[in-house]
Amino acid sequence: MNTQAKPKGDAMKTKGSQYTPGPWKVKEYRQMYSVIGPDMKECVCTFPPADNAYANARLIAAAPELLEACRKGLARVKELTALAGHAEGYSYETVRVLADAIAKAEGRKCA
């Protein structure tokens, strides 16, 4: 039985954003697909046999790189918007979508 209390407030945000560093890889074993961390010792998750199991495993394995791409994209959109001195409607939407995706990945509330 796990007797550890769940972290609250800022501790939960910190705890929620700690994940196995990438790159992650997909490995097949007995018709199941596992997403494995870079040291090949830690299993991030496993998908049982299903038509979409391999596609789902590939998507999860790309998560660390996708999160980093969102962070870089968000920074660049904000930088370009500031340089232009104004923001077009699409810039606001892009910022919102990227910020929400990053917040979700880090265990924070979306805007």
- Quick: pLDDT tens for 88-101: 666 778 888 999 99
Question: Does the reported pTM lie above 0.85?
Answer: no
Question: What integer pLDDT is reported at residue 45 of this predicted model?
Answer: 94
Question: What integer pLDDT is reported at residue 21 of this predicted model?
Answer: 87
- Quick: pLDDT tens for 27-69: 999 999 999 999 888 899 999 999 999 999 999 999 999 999 9
Higher pLDDT, 7 or 111: 111
Cβ atoms of 43 and 36 within 8 Å: the answer is: yes
Which SS3 state, helix, strand or coil, does residue 27 take? strand
Phi, psi of 6, deg, nearest 5 = -70, 140
